[in-house]
Structure formats: C-alpha cells, structure tokens
A and B are shown apart, each in its own frame.
Chain A
C-alpha cells in the first residue's frame, strides 16, 4: 500500500505539515519517535499537569492547540515510531524504514509514500569543553525536558552556562520551578553586541525584543550573571564538582552540583543526509543543513524537509514552514493547483516573515565563539569514542582530508550517537587545521540505519517475493 504523505516528527513543523496535508484530503501518516506528540519544544504538552503548563509559559502552552488541530483531522498519528531510513525510489515515491515499539520488542516495516516531509527538528549544538562528559553535566535542553515531562528540578548548586535565548528561558523556568541557580555564565564575547546592533532595527520591532528584555530582567533579578566568559572547564573525578572559567584572562572557579550547558541548536540532518539530500554549510549558524527551496523541497524528488531540520528559525517559523511544505506537497500530488497553493501560502509567508524578523540579531549575537566550537588539546571532540581535539588536528595535519577519513583513522563519529555530537566539531577542527572553509571539508556520509536497530527488528521486515528471489537458490 502506498500512502500519500509520510511526515516524520511531531514537533511544530511536523504537526502543522500533517494537519494541513490531511485537511487537503491527502492520506497522511505522522511518525514520531516519542510516546506523545509535541517534539522537544512542546515536549509532554498533552500529559503535563495544568500547573506545570501554566508555569512553563504561554509559548509552551501553544503546543496544545497544534496537537488538537492534528487530532481533528484524518491523519494517522503513529507514536513510538523510529524512522531509520528514507530513500527515493525510481518512480519518485519515498520508502521509509520504520520501527514501531510494541509489547516485548519492536516491529519493523517499510512504508511507501508518494511524498515525505522530514520534520526531524534540531538538537543542541555540541559544547566541547574539558569535562563535558562528567555526570552532572547536562544540556540545558535536557534539564528542561526533565522539568516538562517529570517535574524534576536540579537540587544543590546549579550553574547554567553558554549562550542563546534558551539559556535565559530555561534559567527562568527552572527558578520558577524552585531551582536555585547560583550563576548564569554567559559566553557571548565582548564586542559581539555591537556587531549584532547592526541588525537591531528589525529586532526592536520584533516580538522577541520585549519578551527577551522582560526575561533578561527577571533572570538578572534572581541570579548572578557572569558575562564575557572566554573559557569553561568542568572539573571533577566521578562527577562534576566545579566550573572553572576565565574572564579577561583571569581564572575563576565556582563549586557546582549541576552544570547545564547550551549554545544554540543545529539541524538534525541524519535522515535527510542518508536519503541523499544535498547539504550545505551555513556559516552564520556554523552547521550543515539540507539544501531546500522556498517550499522545503530537497534535491531528492518527493522528499521535503520542514522546520528547524531545514535550518534553524524557531518553533513559530517551523509551524509556518510545515504548513507551506504541505501546500507544496498537495500541489505536487495534484491535489491543488499553483494558484490555490500560492493563495493559501500568502498568509503563511507573512507569519514566517514575522517569526523571522529580528532573528538575525540573535544569530549574530549568539553565534558561539570559536573557542567553544573548536576545542583544543585533550578536550573530547567525540564523546562516544573518546577522541580528543588534538588527535583530530594531528590527523588533519598528517593528511586526513575530512570527516569520513577521520572515521577510519580515529573512529570519531563511529560510536552509538553516530556522530551527532561531534559532527560540527570534527568538520571545523579539520577545516581550521587545513586552513580551508568547513564547506570544503564537508561532513560524514550519513548511513542507514540512522537510529539503532536490533537484528530482531531488522529480521521482522516483511519479505517480498523479489527479495526472496534474490537470495533463494533452487
């Protein structure tokens, strides 16, 4: 059976895309690897107690409306579904490998769709500092997920470090939930604000300005903010015990029980990459992202990417991008003509423009400083295989041309995370050592399965007559 549209990911982009596709009369299935819809930004929105939702704020509560909208359609929502492959077939349909959790294991099947929309979102950017693998060091997004889904609040001395809007938002949320935050340690370099001010006019008239100002005021009233930090190191034996940092080359140390790190998010490109979509380097965002047109169309026929997975622009933009991509898919599948597509797209493009206004200011202000993207010495670049920055640089100087070769030389990117937490680091380390732009160095060749599969799951793929004929000899 071939469905019309398969959507991957139930965050803002995927929910909007699936809702719009179904409303346009397309047979739509939405696959998501979590047990409940919402993605990470609206994580747990359908299950969170009312008090918690109220405390997390209006932005979070917005997710409920998106889930309700999806549920009012005919779209099939498939939770606990891990999509581990996507490929374009010669007839321009898309085949997805989907593993669904069932009692006592998982069931795997291949899903065929006339078009697919990957809305796989973003992950936090790696934050390679000494000691970032110590227990007690966690991403800010991770701490936020624990709060959203389980009401868990870190106890003792909590320090939150890095840069970006989420750093301030999460600090406020954690303190509202009862956490004591000893310090917010900001890694935005001196002089960066002046650079960002060139983009201030759009920012000043954007919704982000007032919200950001209020938030910063609220956080500053309740915790110490340490600015212009030039280096960070987590210190500890079996778990983090202290944070060492420098300001104006002067070293300081504070005792911590929890160190929460964040320096923005990067697109999750594994599935699109494995499907063969061309990726390109976004220098302002310092990451690779799929090359897409204004509708989310990729270089693979019938395969689209929507939301932060196609380049970071935030949740509100993601919802608009999801809906826009749905219109393009409906048009490609002959459901609506060009005129209807463009007419329905007009208000979405205005929403998108609104959501993106002012973002350049953030993008410039919060682009992580080189020191926090490109580590040195014994700092681990690859957490899984424990490959240091020095080893990657030495390999590059010895002639290793790029990340794919680095895998063979050092095993970096070959652990269980499949390179998700070292990809941008390895690219930039090699680029710097070779003195060439990251675009020239490239990233891994992404391979299926992009999510872990047991052999039992692989073996449960229903066989076809064609597949049997290929291996059975009479």
Chain B
C-alpha cells in the first residue's frame, strides 16, 4: 500500500476507472502511480505461469506493469499518464489477442 503525502501544490483530481471502479487520480500521475495509490499491488498475471506481477522499475525498462489502457492492452503503466475518463484494466488471467479495432 502506498499513501500520498498531501501537498498544497497537489495537482487537480483526474477521474479514471480501474477495472470499472471509479478512482480519483491526480494530474501528472502515471497510471502505475494511480494504481498503487488505489492499493493495487498486482497489475497482471504472466502469460508463462499466471504468476502475479506488479511494477518493479517504474521507468519503462522492466515491462512488469503492463495493463490495458482505454482498450489497448500491454501498455506500460509507468510510461502512461492518466487522463480524464481513462479506463484502466488490470491484465489478469490468460493472455488474449488484442481486440479488433471497430
């Protein structure tokens, strides 16, 4: 669990959803920071053994924090910033092929 240190200069609230549930992130947060602030430790399970994984490096090199962002799978949560209305889904369960664009 991570707690946010309150600061008078904190960014504005950005409303997103995480696995369908609403969450108040902060402007400037990465998706990884928002999920960790929401108390989520496991962002996905692995395609090899279905083992749970969470963010490790937070700088775009380890690829452990990949989640689905607005329908696009395998986005690095630590390299993506939150935006109003963003839909984030953790990647649990068996890997699946990316949805066909409509």
Contacts and interface: CB of A to CB of B under 8 A. Distances in A.
- A and B pair up: yes
Given A49-B9, A142-B56, A386-B48, A421 B41 contact: no
Contacts of A156: 1
A424 to B, nearest CB: 13
B30 A33 contact: no
Interface string A128-165: 00000111111101110110011111111000000000
A107 B62 CA distance: 23
A76 interface: no
B57 A146 contact: no
A136 B33 contact: no
Give the most central of B54, B58, B64: most A CB within 10 Å: B58
Interface residues of A, number: 49
Interface string A37-51: 000100110010111
A177 interface: yes
A139 B63 CA distance: 13
Contacts, number: 127
Interface stretch (A14-22, A191-199, A307-315, A412-420): A412-420
A150 B4 CA distance: 7
Where chain A touches its partner, the secondary structure class is loop
Give the most central of B6, B51, B52, B57: most A CB within 10 Å: B57
Interface in A6-35: 33-35
A49 B10 contact: yes
Contact of B41 (A33, A133, A239): A239
Interface in A100-126: 123-124
Contacts of A133: 51, 53, 56, 64
Contact of A51 (B7, B37, B66): B7
Contact of A49 (B8, B46, B55): B8
A34 B6 CA distance: 24
Contacts of A385: 48
A55 to B, nearest CB: 9
B46 A386 contact: yes
Contacts of A435: none
A257 B3 CA distance: 13
A249 interface: no
A155 B62 CA distance: 23
B66 A238 contact: no
B99 to A, nearest CB: 13
Contacts of B66: 416
B102 interface: no
Interface string B22-46: 0000101110110011000111001
A146 to B, nearest CB: 6
Give the most central of A40, A137, A142, A143: most B CB within 10 Å: A142
Interface string B55-73: 1111111111010000000
Contact of B61 (A35, A123, A137, A257): A123
B90 to A, nearest CB: 11
A52 B2 CA distance: 17
Contact of B59 (A47, A52, A123, A383): A123
A334 B5 CA distance: 51
B79 interface: yes
B17 interface: no
A252 B97 CA distance: 44
Contacts of A49: 7-10
Nearest to A261: B56
Contacts of A145: 58-59, 78
9 shortest interchain CB distances as A-B pairs: A49-B9, A135-B54, A142-B58, A416-B63, A150-B33, A135-B41, A151-B5, A145-B58, A152-B2
Given A146-B2, A238-B52, A452-B74, 16 more contacts: A51-B8, A133-B64, A142-B56, A142-B58, A143-B58, A146-B36, A149-B30, A152-B2, A152-B3, A153-B2, A154-B1, A155-B1, A239-B42, A383-B62, A384-B63, A421-B61
